[in-house]
A and B are shown apart, each in its own frame.
Chain A
């Protein structure tokens, strides 16, 4: 249970709801409507499906790469740290015209970043498909819900606060990633 919750929190930190809020926000700064957010649901579903499939074939991927799980955990930790730095610097994040298809593409790219791909593979190989997918879905749903709640409530008002939240969540991802590296170093 603890493992599952920690994994879900890890996915949540990697998805970074504050960063997603920037993608869900309307370019004109007004609060996003429920329809705006729902329009982006395909991206979230597609991301979850892709990551779940990766978790399913994680052991095959590690075999193909000739890597043990422990070594992969170290690599995943490093990639997640880089991803978190990207999120904290707001690279690739800006409000979008939510009526275009690109909003979905941008959200999909954000959610299937190398960091989340590595995390899905690492959890899939370590905890098994069920736990990996359960934590992945939980992390994605919570991230989307938090982001949607924010932009529906504030839009781009208090951008300053949103930016700091994004950095703090990215810092949380870094801490979790360092612990993943530690596991990779210490585990058999």
Chain B
């Protein structure tokens, strides 16, 4: 006959030990990220900017993809991402005081200007015979960053032309068409884009900040309502909200205008989504059973966007009482993601095609560096308690 102790204690303990072990492995593996430091995050961002500078061509374009295993540069390019990379270089110049990054960004801007096409009172950079809303939006933001950094009005007319393109592409519900076909002089009325509305939202907000009183805020509000209330349905996002870091930037920019409750509700949900993704990423070890269950690490262009989003939402949370309760947790998660980025970066003693970049399956793409840079810079600011996003002194970090 079994001793009562075995029946009452041993069996339940064994069963529950097995259950808890399985839950630990499958549901709650350790989240392997440290808090990091502002200084180390800025160093990592500078190293990433080093990759962009070392991998820029004479015409101002950048290495789009580098395949480390093949030592090859696949023949591909994307001007939307070019604009984003240029924006991040202006951010490095503005926040980290790197004049060489400013020069690289200027060459990147020259490439965009070279590809501008004007129609009526608006314009935008052309690629593949069309002007995309994403390119115009990110170029607007890049030029707005430049304006904040230099205090110069050199490209104000270009910014306004890009802004008018965004207005021409905005739909009645606040959403956006995706592109303009140059040759046929017609809009693409069919396709949609999940992320262009967020990019346009931030661009319009930046335009209003640059040129207050010109009415850009009306379009920004329409875009904000579309993103927060309609976009996820329009794009059939299976598990809303879409992890849209651009929208987070836009909201953070607009917080001083006085956001509505539904904007704040969206921002709170968005913070939860970024947090979930960062936590999941922090649980990956890329080996053994963990690799089988959780997959391998995501590229820096994905992880970087989540960190960017969290850093932007931290600024929002610091500026709006309705999100104040989340500020500490948001900053902690942003730091967790930034720490993951810092630890996954290629060492700076690697060859120029590798040093400072992030590789997945032997490949890096230029926006891996872009998103990581922006995320790292603004997370470092968050750790320092710096809510202001723009550079301190216009013109200080350009030459």
Question: A-side interface residues toward B, CB under 8 Å?
Answer: 65-68, 70-72, 74-75, 78-79, 82, 92, 102, 105-106, 109, 113-114, 185-188
Main secondary structure of the interface of B (DSSP, over half): helix
Which 5 residue pairs spanning A and B have beta carbons closest together? A66-B30, A75-B28, A188-B329, A188-B275, A186-B272
Given A68-B279, A71-B31: A79 and B23 within 8 A (CB)? Answer: yes
Query: Which A residue's beta carbon lies closest to that of B20?
Result: A114
Query: Which A residue's beta carbon lies closest to that of B331?
Result: A188
Residue contacts A-B, CB under 8 angstroms, 28 given: A65-B24, A66-B30, A67-B30, A67-B31, A68-B333, A70-B276, A71-B28, A71-B31, A71-B279, A72-B28, A75-B23, A78-B23, A79-B19, A79-B20, A79-B23, A82-B19, A102-B8, A106-B8, A113-B16, A114-B16, A114-B19, A185-B276, A186-B273, A186-B276, A187-B329, A188-B272, A188-B326, A188-B330
From the candidates B9, B20, B326, name the one contacting A109 in the complex (CB within 8 A). B9
> Which residues on B sit within 8 Å (CB–CB) of A67?
28, 30-31
> Which residues on B sit within 8 Å (CB–CB) of A109?
8-9, 12
Minimum C-beta distance from A63 to chain B (A): 11
> Which residues on A sit within 8 Å (CB–CB) of B329?
187-188
Whole-angstrom CA separation of A79 from B23 in the bound complex: 8
Given A92-B12, A105-B9: A188 and B271 within 8 A (CB)? Answer: yes
Main secondary structure of the interface of A (DSSP, over half): helix
From the candidates B4, B16, B279, name the one contacting A70 in the complex (CB within 8 A). B279
Max count, chain A CB within 10 A of own CB: residue among B24, B27, B272, B273: B27
Whole-angstrom CA separation of A66 from B32 in the bound complex: 7
Task: Find out whether the CB atom of B4 lies under 8 angstroms from the CB atom of A65.
Answer: no
> Which residues on A sit within 8 Å (CB–CB) of B263?
none
> Which residues on A sit within 8 Å (CB–CB) of B19?
79, 82, 114
Task: Find out whether the CB atom of B4 lies under 8 angstroms from the CB atom of A102.
Answer: yes
Whole-angstrom CA separation of A79 from B28 in the bound complex: 11
Q: Does B147 contact A (CB under 8 A)?
A: no
Minimum C-beta distance from B390 to chain A (A): 25
Whole-angstrom CA separation of A106 from B8 in the bound complex: 7
Interface residues of B in 152-167 (CB under 8 A from A): none
Minimum C-beta distance from A130 to chain B (A): 18
Whole-angstrom CA separation of A68 from B31 in the bound complex: 8
> Which residues on A sit within 8 Å (CB–CB) of B269?
186
Task: Find out whether the CB atom of B9 lies under 8 angstroms from the CB atom of A74.
Answer: no
Q: Interface extent on B, as a size class? A: 20 to 34
> Which residues on A sit within 8 Å (CB–CB) of B276?
70, 185-186
Query: Which B residue's beta carbon lies closest to that of A101?
Result: B4
Max count, chain A CB within 10 A of own CB: residue among B23, B30, B283, B329: B23
> Which residues on A sit within 8 Å (CB–CB) of B28?
65, 67, 71-72, 74-75
> Which residues on A sit within 8 Å (CB–CB) of B31?
66-68, 71
Question: B-side interface residues toward A, CB under 8 Å?
Answer: 4, 8-9, 12, 16, 19-20, 23-24, 27-28, 30-32, 269, 271-273, 275-276, 279, 283, 326, 329-330, 332-333
Whole-angstrom CA separation of A162 from B31 in the bound complex: 43
Minimum C-beta distance from A19 to chain B (A): 14
Task: Find out whether the CB atom of B9 lies under 8 angstroms from the CB atom of A187.
Answer: no
> Which residues on B sit within 8 Å (CB–CB) of A187?
272, 275, 329
Whole-angstrom CA separation of A65 from B21 in the bound complex: 12
Whole-angstrom CA separation of A153 from B28 in the bound complex: 44
Query: Which A residue's beta carbon lies closest to that of B268?
Result: A188
Minimum C-beta distance from A173 to chain B (A): 16
Whole-angstrom CA separation of A187 from B328 in the bound complex: 13
> Which residues on A sit within 8 Å (CB–CB) of B12?
92, 109
Minimum C-beta distance from A62 to chain B (A): 10
Query: Which B residue's beta carbon lies closest to that of A64?
Result: B30
Minimum C-beta distance from B113 to chain A (A): 41
Whole-angstrom CA separation of A68 from B332 in the bound complex: 10
> Which residues on B sit within 8 Å (CB–CB) of A114?
16, 19-20
From the candidates A65, A105, A185, name the one contacting B272 in the complex (CB within 8 A). A185
> Which residues on B sit within 8 Å (CB–CB) of A82?
19
> Which residues on A sit within 8 Å (CB–CB) of B23?
75, 78-79
Task: Find out whether the CB atom of B27 lies under 8 angstroms from the CB atom of A75.
Answer: yes
Task: Find out whether the CB atom of B279 lies under 8 angstroms from the CB atom of A78.
Answer: no
> Which residues on B sit within 8 Å (CB–CB) of A113?
16
> Which residues on A sit within 8 Å (CB–CB) of B20?
79, 114
Minimum C-beta distance from A85 to chain B (A): 11
Minimum C-beta distance from A110 to chain B (A): 9
> Which residues on B sit within 8 Å (CB–CB) of A106?
8
Minimum C-beta distance from A128 to chain B (A): 14
Query: Which A residue's beta carbon lies closest to that of B30?
Result: A66
Whole-angstrom CA separation of A65 from B333 in the bound complex: 17
> Which residues on B sit within 8 Å (CB–CB) of A72?
28
Query: Which B residue's beta carbon lies closest to that of A73?
Result: B28
> Which residues on B sit within 8 Å (CB–CB) of A75?
23-24, 27-28
Whole-angstrom CA separation of A34 from B332 in the bound complex: 52
Minimum C-beta distance from A109 to chain B (A): 6
Query: Which B residue's beta carbon lies closest to that of A77?
Result: B27
> Which residues on A sit within 8 Å (CB–CB) of B279?
68, 70-71
From the candidates A66, A105, A185, name the one contacting B8 in the complex (CB within 8 A). A105
